[in-house]
Amino acid sequence: MSNIQETPEFTEWQQVVEILRQAATEQKDDVMLKLLLTPDERSVLLSRVNILHELLNGERSQRKISELLGVGVATITRGSNELKHHDEATKAWLAALLEQQRPNQ
């Protein structure tokens, strides 16, 4: 009789979040993210962080953000639409978190 499972072990987003949380607790989050994401995916993630930062900052138009980051306006719009699903407290928290992580602060 075979012990091979016919379904994936991990099927929920929350499981991924918990894996990342545990990796961070063990100070292995960098290793985990490098294992999970290709260099291109890490670059896209960096772009997404910059998109959120620029949108929350509110000083540039979506077109200017697109030019600055070298991404399509549709990508900026998706980030903007995602932010609309969150309350002001969450946006303020994210803006403060991103501001803290800026170099030369």
Interatomic CA distance for residues 95 and 34, integer angstroms: 25
DSSP 61: -
Confidence of residue 1 (pLDDT cuts 50, 70, 90): low
Confidence of residue 3 (pLDDT cuts 50, 70, 90): confident
Q: What is the pLDDT of residue 78?
A: 95
Q: What is the pLDDT of residue 86?
A: 97
Interatomic CA distance for residues 19 and 14, integer angstroms: 9
| pLDDT per position as a tens digit, 67-86 | 999 999 999 999 999 999 99
Q: What is the pLDDT of residue 92?
A: 97
